[in-house]
Amino acid sequence: RKEVEQDPGPFNVPEGATVAFNCTYSNSASQSFFWYRQDCRKEPKLLMSVYSSGNEDGRFTAQLNRASQYISLLIRDSKLSDSATYLCVVKRLGGGADGLTFGKGTHLIIQP
């Protein structure tokens, strides 16, 4: 099983719609969780951290379910500029490197 799994999509949704996607992670000891967005041929940019209690940032809501080991991202009132690949990122424990494990991303296309 991959460490971080996401549905690659693409998800095509009309502008103004609400869209949500999930990500599952395999390491139950994972500590920190994030959503990044990556535009085509660009570096990833942090969208938001994900907290157990759930958190909201404008039109974006992130949820973490530790028992089921999944993370969700919900986008309300989607804009054309939301079109991007959304990466689920988990900070893993152990090993010599203290880095982040990235999912392959979910490609979102907002249509006018």
Q: Which of residues 11-50 bind other proteins (CB under 8 A)?
A: 32, 34, 41-45, 49
Fill in the DSSP letter of residue 96. Answer: S
Largest CA distance in the chain: 46
Whose Cβ is closer to other proteins: residue 4's or residue 110's? 4
Q: Could you tell me the end-to-end alpha-carbon distance of the chain, in angstroms, rounded to an integer?
A: 37
Tokens standing for 8?
């690659």
Q: Does residue 72 touch other proteins according to CB under 8 A?
A: no
- Which of 10, 16, 54, 99 touches other proteins (CB under 8 A)? 99
Whose Cβ is closer to other proteins: residue 14's or residue 66's? 66
**# chain residues binding other proteins, by CB under 8 A:** 23
List interacting residues with other proteins (CB under 8 A).
Answer: 4, 8, 32, 34, 41-45, 49, 87, 91, 95-105
